[in-house]
C-alpha cells in the first residue's frame, strides 16, 4: 500500500510531468503539426489526435516510468491501447496528455493536461491538472485538499446571479436539445438566475470551470453508443470536487466509478459535476428524462 510520503512524492512528479508536457503543448499552439483521425468515441472531439498529443504523452511517461517500475503501477493513457494493467495492479496512472485537442487545433482555449493516480477500486488518490494557456497547475492528494499554484484553493462566490451550464459541443446536435434547453431555462427562471451556456471546452476545462463558479454544472447523459468521455477525462477532477466538498457523480447519482472492467468509456453511466445539491437533483431528473439508454 502506498503511504502518505509516497503519495506526496508521486504528486510532485506528476506536477512536473504535467507542466513540462503543457509547456510543450503551448509552444506548439500556433505552429504546424500533423493531425490524424482515430477510432473510438462518437464525436469529432474524441476522434482527433495530433502529433502534439503523442509527444506530450511521451514527456509524461518519461517522468513516470521510474515510479511505475518502483511501485508496480498500471497505466491507462488516452493515446495508447488499454493493456488492462489498471485491472491487475493496485494502482494505475490515468493520463490524458491533452484533453480538449479539438479546441487546441481550432486555436482557442479549452485544453488541459490531466494526470491522476487511481486505485484499483476506481477511486482517485492523486489528481493533477495543468492549463497550458494560463500556466495554472491544480493538484490534490486524497484527504489533503486542493491546491492551485501551490496555494490552498479557496472557492470565491463569483457571479452568484448566473447559472452556468457547461456542456460538450456534441450535445448541441442531440435530438432532444431544444427540449433540454427549455427545461433548463425554466429552472433558471424559477431560481432567478441568468442562464449562461459554456460550450466548446474539453471535459477537464469544463469541470474546472464549474469549480470557479458560484452556481454551475457540467453533465454528460448516459447513452448506448460508445463514447461519453473516458476515465482519463474525469479522474483528476473527480478528486478535486471531492476535496472541496462539491458534488461529482454519475448521471444516476451514484459514485463516479473510474475503473469499469468492461470499458474505459463512460457512456453507460454518464457524469455530473455540480456546485450544490439543488442543481444536482435537477440535473439528475434531466438525466432520467433525456438519457438514451
Each of the 293 residues of the chain gets a pLDDT tens digit; together they read 899 999 999 999 999 999 999 999 999 998 988 888 766 555 666 668 899 999 999 999 999 999 999 999 999 999 998 999 999 999 999 999 999 999 999 999 999 999 999 999 999 999 999 999 999 999 999 999 999 999 999 998 678 899 999 999 989 999 999 999 999 999 999 999 999 999 999 999 999 999 999 999 999 999 988 888 999 999 999 999 999 999 999 999 999 999 999 999 999 999 999 999 999 999 999 999 998 77
CA dist., res. 19 & res. 33, Å (int): 20
Length of the chain, in residues: 293
CATH 3.90.220.20: does it fit domain 4-152?
no
Topology annotation, domain 162-290: D-Maltodextrin-Binding Protein; domain 2 (3.40.190)
Q: Binding site membership for Mg(2+): which residues?
A: 78, 96, 99, 233
Ordered by start, the domain boundaries in the chain are 4-152, 162-290
Inter-residue contact 273 to 219 (CB < 8 Å)? yes
CA dist., res. 182 & res. 251, Å (int): 19
Q: Binding site membership: which residues?
A: 78, 96, 99, 233
CB proximity list for 23: less than 8 A, separation 6 or greater: 132
Amino acid at each position: 500500500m502506498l503511504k502518505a510520503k509516497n503519495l506526496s512524492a508521486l504528486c510532485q512528479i506528476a506536477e512536473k510531468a504535467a507542466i513540462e508536457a503543457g509547456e510543450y503543448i503551448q509552444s506548439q499552439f500556433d505552429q504546424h503539426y500533423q493531425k490524424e483521425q482515430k477510432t473510438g468515441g462518437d464525436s469529432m472531439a474524441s476522434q482527433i489526435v495530433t502529433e502534439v498529443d503523442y509527444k506530450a504523452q511521451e514527456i509524461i511517461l518519461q517522468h513516470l516510468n521510474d515510479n511505475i517500475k518502483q511501485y508496480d503501477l498500471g497505466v491507462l493513457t488516452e493515446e495508447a491501447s488499454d493493456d488492462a494493467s489498471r485491472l491487475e495492479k493496485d494502482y494505475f496512472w490515468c493520463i490524458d496528455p491533452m484533453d480538449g485537442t479539438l479546441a487546441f487545433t481550432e486555436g482557442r482555449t479549452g485544453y488541459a493536461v490531466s494526470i491522476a493516480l487511481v486505485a484499483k477500486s476506481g477511486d482517485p488518490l492523486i489528481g493533477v491538472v495543468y492549463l497550458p494557456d494560463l500556466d495554472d497547475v491544480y493538484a490534490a492528494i486524497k484527504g489533503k485538499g486542493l491546491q492551485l499554484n501551490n496555494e490552498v484553493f479557496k472557492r470565491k462566490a463569483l457571479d452568484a446571479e448566473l447559472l452556468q451550464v457547461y456542456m460538450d459541443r456534441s450535445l448541441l446536435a442531440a435530438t432532444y436539445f431544444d427540449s433540454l434547453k427549455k427545461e433548463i431555462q425554466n429552472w433558471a427562471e424559477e431560481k432567478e438566475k441568468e442562464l449562461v451556456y459554456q460550450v466548446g471546452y474539453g471535459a477537464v476545462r469544463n469541470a474546472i470551470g464549474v469549480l470557479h463558479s458560484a452556481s454551475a454544472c457540467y453533465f454528460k447523459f448516459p447513452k448506448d453508443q460508445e463514447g461519453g468521455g473516458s476515465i482519463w477525462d474525469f479522474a483528476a477532477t473527480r478528486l478535486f470536487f471531492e476535496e472541496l466538498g462539491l458534488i461529482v457523480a454519475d448521471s444516476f447519482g451514484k459514485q463516479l466509478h473510474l475503473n469499469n472492467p468492461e470499458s474505459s468509456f463512460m457512456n453507460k453511466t454518464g457524469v455530473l459535476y455540480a456546485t450544490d445539491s439543488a442543481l444536482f437533483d435537477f440535473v439528475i431528473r434531466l438525466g432520467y428524462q433525456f438519457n438514451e439508454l
